Structure 1
């Protein structure tokens, strides 16, 4: 589902001096009413490459990459790169410090024994962060997700880079597979009350390049997953956080699942089954059995780091476990995100994000 907390966080952190700002409701304020912004409704027709760029009128948006990688010795790593856009008003972008858009970047690397994470903040309109389409470039400071493609779709070949204290990476991402519309033709519902986002993915990227952890450099390759999502109010005030899974199966199929936890009532559970050619099937709560198998003490709280996932209609019965249970994003608003391993009916790798614990 790729709801990402950061966009709303910068509205609170950088825009906190605005006394008219609404009081947070739900996790990270994601349940705040957004009547002034453009609503998310079913039936939208997506258009590429235009939808790779920003969407005026919507309050929240992100460009999000995760990658499962190995070096030549078979050592496993995970990489995360995210750019969040948060609009303080529903007006169009403008140049200069009067711009009402805030930007946040998150970057992380994970190995079996080490996890590093960093964040960057910027105001829009002054060249410190943004997203352009011609050529495609999403950036904040010196962190970039930029097109290297020459064809009609600028996101078929990308260069991904970030660097901070203790880590850095440069990766090349390539794919010739189609974009995947999540949910119901890109309408991704988050609650029984109808909160939703527009959501599409490229789960078929092949990744290669180098990463550095604590001065040690590794040549790596593997799978990467890009999520694009935008909304104005994706959650209800009753929803306290989520558990999100993106899974690369060795069979060539992909699975996206999310569970929206609530203060009262059962979690909202849904997902998408993606076959090896990119065709999708919406998964509803009755299609999925998601169970916590084991937890670990992480950053002073109990985190579910081993899960059982069963999708009987697809003969999937797997256990996923964290490569590094301590993949805690110790940022301004913390959360857990890191690579996972798959065992059981299907092998593979993936990523897990957990918020609100």
Structure 2
């Protein structure tokens, strides 16, 4: 049922009534005045004016603005539904550390729930308030059995009730401040609008509350099957919400395709991921276990976050066709109803005007007309004929142009036909194949890997070493320093991490486009020079500081002695990714011993002041935050690290932490982000140094200039060559320690059955090396 079936007929009847009532008044007045000759002309002119005004008023102010959702209105959509629920503790997988045996012994295994079916979403106006023109909406999803869909251990209904303004041009929530229920008819110049998610705890009389408010962006305009549409999308990541009284972390992609003239929804895509703490899963699936002291003590040490449920809804092609037909009916209704009402009025007015225009003048001048000569009669007759011809011409042009315009608009075949944009991981309606991504991205990725809380970004009191690292390539079109790159890192190290070096240090390195490096770092400061707080990033080092909270940080780094100042704003363009710490598929209790997360890509803009000259800079950046509490420095021989940005939009993190053992043991991690949702991870890789160099001042130390990486997992093979082209050497001779940083190029391939993706990119690298007198730990540390 279309709300446009409820055209305001009261307005239509009012116009028709006016077209009868006013002429009756005019007839009465002119008869009383005995002005019979002017009666027909007056009525004709009035009806002409009424027809034009009614036509101009009926469409913009009544058919559109005053149309309201009627009581018992239904909007029904069929969609393919995929539902997955954890239904237990954390899933065991090839990339996940096993849950301890005593936990698994106490908690029996439960298989995840997974459903695929064709469901129905229904928006129903169950009650209408005539006085306030508001409607009580019931928004519900039914499963393939016709029952309301239940989720989260069958405890929650996907069914909400809320009041909205019933005008189809509005549809704002009435009882809560959450923006609009849907995309209303708005001007094409408006490209963003707030659309809310409101819940009532699944009850008709439940209290309405705001779950979240989305910032919907218009991403495309065009035509589908001759119907003009706009595509709107919102992406939300790692947002803490409360739904039906329970706190979750939410990832959501909502895409609506609407006919902008009417606001009618043609296609819906929604992917909702709810994540929760381990303790919430235990309370939900194993409530009796919460009485166990073993369980409660375990939760005090490790309470990570993992996915609770995933719900994906995608309108079917058949349902979209039905919506398109409904929109065509709406467009016809909008076009022809005003014409049906106004053309008869206009025609009657035209006929009366044409008939009585000359007659009225004739009766007024009858006596004088009889007395003038024949030539004068001919001139008057010709003049009257000319006026009549002019009136006929003007009315004909107006009528024919109006009919011709609407006929043209309805018969026009648009050329800019579009397809509904594909969401990553979903097949488009048109059946086109999406861009290839590694098979690892199609597996279930625990969204705990992407959730970053304010307390994670701040200082960790128990950590022995902690740093906040930022880098950027100034490759933005508006950047004055094209080809330059920068590293800023606020480091608080453990005592004796680098022997004879005090623990607080600020790294500021600038690399130009001519293979030159500039060191503006400030080293060897006593403990307490670096001050850090929280929640969020709040770090200072003398006159330098960082402030912010995901997804935005401000970086201010200063070296007064060298007249160098950096003022940059980093805005995350990708989700954060945990390497160590808060996640279900990372080592147990790892958050208690340390943490490591990074943001693969950021948009960066700001200024650099150097030797009194200011440069405007912009480009692509990276940020990570690492802290560690337990592991002593003496167990490490060094590490290899790089972050890489590829031309195809992929991002990569590479890290190898080399242990000081005779068995060449290491902690390895390569994390590939082919999109902003999923990752593919290698936990081991082989590295070959194809070119090495010796630093000045410590010739016995070696570091790589070129390296080749190979990693294999399942059917996936990564081959990568990294070339560091501008290395800054920082050597502490008496500590026999070196740190080597610089920009690099990366080329290679990522292959899996049926696909080979060429990789071409750039990034920043860092290599640390420690030269020990003896190769094993615990005998002589280092000198």
TM-score (norm 1): 0.69
1:299 to 693, 696, 721: 696
**Aligned runs of 1:169-180 on 2, under 5 Å?**
169-180=566-577
Distance 1:70 1:216 in 2: 19
1:355 is aligned to: 768
Shift in Å, 1:176: 4.8
- Bigger radius of gyration: 2
2:744 to 313, 333, 340: 340
2:654 to 241, 257, 274: 257
**Aligned runs of 1:109-128 on 2, under 5 Å?**
109-111=510-512, 112-120=515-523, 121-124=525-528
1:322 is aligned to: 724
1:77 to 484, 488, 502: 484
Instruction: Give yes or no for contact 2:455–2:535 (8 Å, CA) kept in 1.
Output: no
1:282 to 681, 688, 695: 681
Q: Cα distance 1:318–1:238, how it changes in 2: closer, same or farther (>3 A)?
A: same
1:207 to 585, 604, 610: 604
Q: Secondary structure at the match of 1:347?
A: strand
1:310 to 710, 713, 722: 710
Instruction: Give yes or no for contact 1:63–1:83 (8 Å, CA) kept in 2.
Output: yes
Instruction: Give yes or no for contact 2:578–2:598 (8 Å, CA) kept in 1.
Output: yes
Shift in Å, 1:173: 0.8
Shift in Å, 1:170: 2.1
Distance 2:521 2:645 in 1: 26
Shift in Å, 1:76: 2.1
2:552 is aligned to: 157
Shift in Å, 1:115: 3.0
Listed one character per residue, the Cα deviations across residues 235-269 of structure 1 (whole Å, up to 9, x for unaligned) are 57442211112222222222222222344221414
Instruction: Give yes or no for contact 2:581–2:596 (8 Å, CA) kept in 1.
Output: no
Q: Secondary structure at the match of 1:355?
A: strand
Matched, 1:139 2:540: yes
2:456 to 51, 54, 58: 51
1:66 to 455, 459, 471: 471
Listed one character per residue, the Cα deviations across residues 283-315 of structure 1 (whole Å, up to 9, x for unaligned) are 121xx2322121234324332111122345555
Listed one character per residue, the Cα deviations across residues 131-162 of structure 1 (whole Å, up to 9, x for unaligned) are 23367422111112122xxxxxx231222121
Q: Secondary structure at the match of 2:759?
A: coil
1:266 to 640, 661, 664: 664
Distance 1:235 1:141 in 2: 28
Q: Cα distance 1:207–1:266, how it changes in 2: closer, same or farther (>3 A)?
A: same
Matched, 1:105 2:506: yes
Shift in Å, 1:52: 0.9
Q: Cα distance 1:293–1:168, how it changes in 2: closer, same or farther (>3 A)?
A: farther
Q: Secondary structure at the match of 1:182?
A: strand
- Higher strand share goes to which structure? 1
Distance 1:274 1:213 in 2: 35
Q: Secondary structure at the match of 1:248?
A: strand
Instruction: Give yes or no for contact 1:196–1:235 (8 Å, CA) kept in 2.
Output: no
Root mean square deviation of aligned Cα: 3.3
Distance 1:232 1:307 in 2: 31
1:227 is aligned to: 624
Q: Cα distance 1:43–1:234, how it changes in 2: closer, same or farther (>3 A)?
A: farther
Shift in Å, 1:168: 3.6
Listed one character per residue, the Cα deviations across residues 158-179 of structure 1 (whole Å, up to 9, x for unaligned) are 2212122264422221125322
Q: Cα distance 1:73–1:87, how it changes in 2: closer, same or farther (>3 A)?
A: closer
Instruction: Give yes or no for contact 1:180–1:278 (8 Å, CA) kept in 2.
Output: no
Distance 1:48 1:54 in 2: 13
Q: Cα distance 1:176–1:261, how it changes in 2: closer, same or farther (>3 A)?
A: closer
Q: Cα distance 1:293–1:155, how it changes in 2: closer, same or farther (>3 A)?
A: same
- Higher helix share goes to which structure? 2
User: Any unmatched runs of 5+ in structure 1?
Assistant: 1-40, 89-100, 148-153, 190-194
Greater displacement, 268-277 / 162-171? 162-171
2:73 is aligned to: none
User: Any unmatched runs of 5+ in structure 2?
Assistant: 1-300, 306-450, 496-501, 749-757, 771-783
Distance 1:218 1:146 in 2: 22
Shift in Å, 1:231: 1.7
Shift in Å, 1:107: 1.8
Q: Cα distance 1:115–1:267, how it changes in 2: closer, same or farther (>3 A)?
A: farther
Distance 2:557 2:610 in 1: 12
Q: Cα distance 1:188–1:199, how it changes in 2: closer, same or farther (>3 A)?
A: farther
Q: Cα distance 1:159–1:323, how it changes in 2: closer, same or farther (>3 A)?
A: farther
